[in-house]
Amino acid sequence: MVESPSAAPLRQTPLHALHRELGAKLVPFAGYDMPVQYPDGILAEHLHCRAGAALFDVSHMGQVTLSGAEAAAALETLVPGDIAGLAAGRTRYTMFTNDAGGILDDLMVTNVGDHLFLVVNAGCKDDDLAHLRKNLGRVKVEELDRALLALQGPQAAAVLTRLAPDAAAMKFMSFQPLTVGGIACWATRSGYTGEDGYEISVPADQAEKLARLLLAQSGVKPVGLGARDSLRLEAGLCLYGHDIDPTTTPVEADLTWSIGKRRREQGGFPGAAIVQAQLKDGAKRRRVGILPEGRAPARDQTAVIGTDGTALGIVTSGGYGPTVGGPIAMGYVTPQAVEGTTVNLVVRGQPRPAKIVKLPFVPHRYHRS
């Protein structure tokens, strides 16, 4: 999760001073000085999100609007998701693809009604903006000066509903403007922890006020990027640059659910022919869950081999799963390594036994009804 320091000065989110006040350990991430943990530590923060309500600062993510009558159709030339069929007030997960079907970035797209609202990854947002502006012609592309907070966990709805009663009626992957303690916000009922929760976009100059208001609520604690990483790994969710990248297709990444039927049939996005061929014939590798035996975690780039020594693939994310109570990982293996297959992970030059398992490691608890 932590990047090596670079010569470029780190950017700060609007909550940077608050993080320092709260005793956060700050680290470089995607060009920003970000909280990896607070004094309670990553393990306690992870478990709190699974039991209560956790507040994350994800303001380093890019927030972009696309305006114009042709915005949905234009965006479909860059992504495999069904954007034209996205109803007003709904959010959809998709990805930018390249001509080889590889993933340039994954993103969330919301139909606000008169425009589209996009949230893209921090490390990719400058390239994403250039990509959008180069390829979308008459569509207006605007980067917003807004912060983004994620309120996640089984108590998130109760907390937000106390401050904004309309939040209660929202369903998973829905969007609604909310007034939270007098602050005008945009909210989607979504997140990246596997728990119920909301992502709340707020003008940058109101972000600290909103964060303090949420943290003042019973059961809410600040949580950093360290726990966010272990939470999303337990939930079987991809981290861009690790589990998905320009060499990985949506089919290989087990993200075919994000490609609508019309888009699968008609194509019309970069790399469509390759993706369609993989949908028909299968891919040469696929993303899977990996459950190591024992207590030693398998980090990314750990080789996965068969019990006979045959190369099968590689781990792309791995670590300790606090809810699971042991090491977990995911990565890419050849198709013959089906669920239940015993494999070996080469850790410090030694083969250690593991098993291919179904994702996620912890059931998703999204509010769908």
Percent of the chain with pLDDT over 90: 96
If pLDDT is split at 50, 70 and 90, which confidence band does 3 have? very low
263 in a structural domain? no
> CA 131, CA 307: separation in Å to the nearest integer?
44
Count the domains in the chain.
Answer: 2
pLDDT digits (tens, 9 = 90+) for 333-363: 999 999 999 999 999 899 999 999 999 999 9
Per-residue pLDDT averaged across 315-321, rounded?
98
257 in a structural domain? no
Report pLDDT for 41: 98
48 and 173 in a single domain? The answer is yes
Q: Which amino acid is at 341?
A: T
194 and 313 in a single domain? The answer is no
289 and 229 in a single domain? The answer is no
Identify whether the C-beta of residue 13 lies closer than 8 Å to the C-beta of residue 60. Answer: yes
Write out the DSSP string of 219-230.
TEEE--HHHHHH
pLDDT at residue 116 greater than cutoff 90: yes
pLDDT at residue 106 greater than cutoff 80: yes
32 and 156 in a single domain? The answer is yes
269 in a structural domain? no
230 and 159 in a single domain? The answer is yes
Per-residue pLDDT averaged across 181-186, rounded?
97
200 or 4: which leads in pLDDT? 200
To the nearest 5 percent, what fractions of the chain are helix, strand and coil?
25, 35, 40
The H or E element spanning position 48 is helix 42-51
pLDDT at residue 7 greater than cutoff 70: no
351 in a structural domain? yes
227 and 151 in a single domain? The answer is yes
Domain stops at, among 234, 255, 271: 234
Percent of the chain with pLDDT over 70: 98
124 or 7: which leads in pLDDT? 124
Domain span including residue 326: 284-357
329 in a structural domain? yes
Q: Which amino acid is at 150?
A: A
Domain harbouring 296, CATH code = 2.40.30.110
176 and 293 in a single domain? The answer is no
If pLDDT is split at 50, 70 and 90, which confidence band does 8 have? confident
221 in a structural domain? yes
182 in a structural domain? yes
Report pLDDT for 369: 79
123 in a structural domain? no
163 and 223 in a single domain? The answer is yes
229 and 288 in a single domain? The answer is no
216 and 313 in a single domain? The answer is no
Per-residue pLDDT averaged across 185-206, rounded?
98
Domain stops at, among 234, 266, 293: 234
Closest to 238 in 3D by CA, of 121, 368, 109, 367: 121
297 and 194 in a single domain? The answer is no
Domain stops at, among 234, 260, 275: 234
159 and 293 in a single domain? The answer is no
Report pLDDT for 2: 43
pLDDT digits (tens, 9 = 90+) for 209-262: 999 999 999 999 999 999 999 999 999 999 999 999 999 999 999 999 999 999
pLDDT digits (tens, 9 = 90+) for 43-89: 999 999 999 999 999 999 999 999 999 999 999 999 999 999 999 99
Identify whether the C-beta of residue 27 lies closer than 8 Å to the C-beta of residue 36. Answer: yes
Domain harbouring 189, CATH code = 3.30.1360.120
